[in-house]
């Protein structure tokens, strides 16, 4: 069964469309209007092996907040729908990713409960058009919509580009591991019988 979903979110602030294939090859078409966010979503797709399409027309004349938030919400909703009933998935994923001097870890539980921990130091305020503080907001919004536990931690790093890239890659790889299916798992991996 294909694990593919499309979602659209239209408000007075943004118009976002997202499509994801959890069993893809890492291809992507991204156009959010925020260059650095496009770069991060592209590598999220590539390193998670998710096929991903994201477009956003947002009120960037104000700032990037609404676009980043609504992209995260829409992508999270698509991700959750693509998971379906979560039958046979590994459920948990962990990844450590270095990016030159930076080392990040992401740990996820596709539990059906939203919880988010973000322990990442910001060394500057902006990268291109992206306010660095919005990276935390992106992942919080995404975790809320997926209804997963997501813990992201930076062990060390000084270059903000490297730090954020390590975070996105670690999140992608941990989510990829958690969404993998196993023939050994009958139903869902929970003593409750539901996730």
Residue 193 lies in a domain: no
Residue 115 lies in a domain: yes
Rounded to whole angstroms, the Cα distance separating 8 from 114 reads 21
Residue 188 lies in a domain: no
Q: Which residue positions in the chain have pLDDT lower than 70?
A: 191
| Planar angle of CA 151, 157, 79, nearest 5 degrees | 35
**Per DSSP, which regions of 120-194 are E strands?**
126-127, 130-131, 149-156
Nearest to 118 by CA among 174, 161, 167, 166: 167
Residue 85 lies in a domain: yes
Residue 30 lies in a domain: yes
The dihedrals phi and psi of 164, each to the nearest 5 degrees, come to -65, -35
Structure confidence at residue 113 (pLDDT): 95
Q: Enumerate residues 6+ apart whose C-beta is below 8 A from 12.
A: none
Structure confidence at residue 183 (pLDDT): 85
CB 80 within 8 A of CB 145: yes
Residue 88 lies in a domain: yes
Q: Enumerate residues 6+ apart whose C-beta is below 8 A from 151.
A: 105, 106, 107, 108, 116, 117
Residue 194 lies in a domain: no
Residue 190 lies in a domain: no
Structure tokens at 78: 């698509």
Domain carrying residue 146: 4-179
Rounded to whole angstroms, the Cα distance separating 32 from 76 reads 15
Structure confidence at residue 95 (pLDDT): 98
Express each pLDDT in 111-131 by its tens digit: 999 999 999 999 999 999 999
Domain count, the chain: 1
Sheet with strand 28-31: strands edge to edge? 4-10, 14-21, 51-58, 28-31
CB 188 within 8 A of CB 89: yes
Structure confidence at residue 193 (pLDDT): 72
Structure confidence at residue 191 (pLDDT): 67
CATH number of the domain that residue 159 is part of? 3.30.230.40
């Amino acid at each position: 069964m294909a694990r593919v979903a499309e979602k659209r979110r239209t408000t007075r602030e943004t118009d976002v469309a997202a499509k994801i294939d959890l069993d893809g090859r890492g291809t992507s078409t991204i156009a959010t209007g925020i260059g650095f966010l496009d770069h991060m979503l592209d590598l999220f797709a590539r390193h998670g092996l998710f096929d991903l399409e994201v477009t956003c027309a947002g009120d960037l004349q104000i700032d990037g907040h609404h676009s980043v938030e609504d992209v995260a919400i829409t992508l999270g909703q698509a991700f959750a729908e693509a998971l379906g009933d979560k039958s046979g998935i590994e459920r948990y994923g962990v990844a450590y990713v270095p990016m030159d001097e930076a080392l990040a870890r992401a740990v996820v539980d596709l539990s059906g409960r939203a919880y988010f921990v973000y322990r990442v130091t910001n060394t500057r305020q902006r990268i291109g058009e992206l306010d660095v503080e919005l990276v935390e907001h992106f992942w919080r919004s995404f975790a809320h919509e997926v209804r997963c536990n997501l813990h992201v931690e930076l062990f060390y790093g000084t270059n903000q580009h490297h730090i954020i890239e390590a975070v996105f890659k670690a999140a992608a790889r941990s989510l990829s591991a958690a969404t993998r299916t196993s023939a050994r798992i009958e139903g869902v991996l929970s003593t409750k019988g539901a996730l």
